[in-house]
Amino acid sequence: MPKKTISRPARTRVARAPASAPGTTNSADQADARPWKFRPEGLGNAARYSTTRETMAAALVNLRLAPGMRVLEVGCGSGGYTRMMAAGLQGKGEWLGVDHDDALLAQARQSVTLDVPVRFEKAGAFDLPFPDASFDAVVSAFVLCVLPSPLKALREMARVVKPSGLISSLSCFCKTGGLPLFHGAESWPGSERYAELEPRVRAAFRQLVRNPGLGLPNGKDLDVWADYARAGLVDLRISGLLPVYATADARWSDEEAVDWLQRRERVELQLFERLAGDHTRLEQARVTKQEVDDLLTLTKRRFSHLSSPGMARRTMTVFADPHIIISGRVPATQ
């Protein structure tokens, strides 16, 4: 999957109120100033597999979209979540997706069709090229939760939404990597040592590294929920859903099982790539470089075992990925 960059193109902006008072510097803006890229392959794709897709589709009513709305999707990527979110329009309305990645936009234009007019344009999350009060709603899927400055993006979203309009988002626990795992009951060479090391190393980087697999800056999960209030939004609502990935589930196909294991292996190996420069900090949590190296070797061995002939559909490994749906309204009067 192509890498996706969220950045701010330089251009003339539509006038709007500044995020901070004149002569002051917003700390969120400072955090956002450094170069930063987000790795989309690190995100669990609940729209990719049949069972998790069903779970998500049932929960998306909490986006609060309604027929007839003109909707902007920020960070649409290749359109992986567009169809499910747009279902709330029930065939009446208009959909515009924006992203900063040309390759992903090309995929979206080629693969996404809706029962409402839809188009995809290039734009960054911090610099939307639309006049004030242009849309009835703005939605996003796994964008705000990975941005260095979700508050700045929310303020930009609020600018382009009509009074009383909606801003709704899907978020995940990706900044801390706080994802529950059950590794199944299978035995393989080194499985006992893996069971000993894995929770200690994972706990250490949750505390100290903040999800190295996504390359995210330090942060706390659910910052986005508080930022909705900081952005001045009202009628705030939060709900959750829990996609569960289990390749032994009879509803999974063989192809889905293999695909999931391959994608999950890539994500876990990325964690070790990012841990490479953090050994000093990890040792504060009493995890040594040798233990991290040992766990890397055992992780590769584990996935080799899971991918062996016939094993993908027999393993009782389970991965649960909590998602949060947040929505709020722009005040009726500014």
Local structure of 162: helix, strand or coil? strand
Residue 245 predicted with pLDDT over 50: yes
Q: What would you report as the CA-atom Rg of the chain, rounded to the nearest whole angstrom? A: 21
Which pLDDT does position 69 carry in this prediction? Answer: 98
Q: Which residues pair with 319 in a beta bridge?
A: 181, 245
pLDDT at 321 exceeding the cut of 70: yes
13 has a pLDDT exceeding 50: no
Say which amino acid occupies 300. K
Report residue 181's pLDDT band, with 50, 70 and 90 as the boundaries.
low
pTM for the predicted model, two decimal places: 0.76
Give me the sheet containing 323-329, strands edge to edge. 118-122, 93-99, 69-74, 135-141, 161-172, 323-329, 234-241
pLDDT class for 223, splitting at 50, 70, 90?
A: confident
Comparing CA positions, the residue from 106, 12, 118 lying closest to residue 72 is 118
| Better-scored residue on pLDDT, 274 or 107 | 107
Range 193-216 average pLDDT: 68
Q: What is the pLDDT of residues 290-318, one digit of tens each?
A: 888 899 999 999 999 988 888 888 888 88
Find the mean pLDDT for residues 210-216: 45
Number of Cβ atoms within 10 Å of the Cβ of 119:
12
Give domain 27-173+218-242+322-329's CATH superfamily.
Vaccinia Virus protein VP39 (3.40.50.150)
Minimum mean pLDDT range among 8-12, 122-126, 143-147, 302-306: 8-12
* pLDDT > 90: percent of the chain: 40
Residue 283 has pLDDT above 80, yes or no: no
3-state helix vs strand vs coil in the chain, percent to 5 = 40, 20, 40
Provide CATH 3.40.50.150 ranges for the chain. Answer: 27-173+218-242+322-329
Say how far apart CA 256 and CA 203 lie, in whole Å: 29
Assess whether pLDDT exceeds 70 at residue 24: no
Could you give phi then psi for residue 216, rounded to 5 degrees?
-85, 155
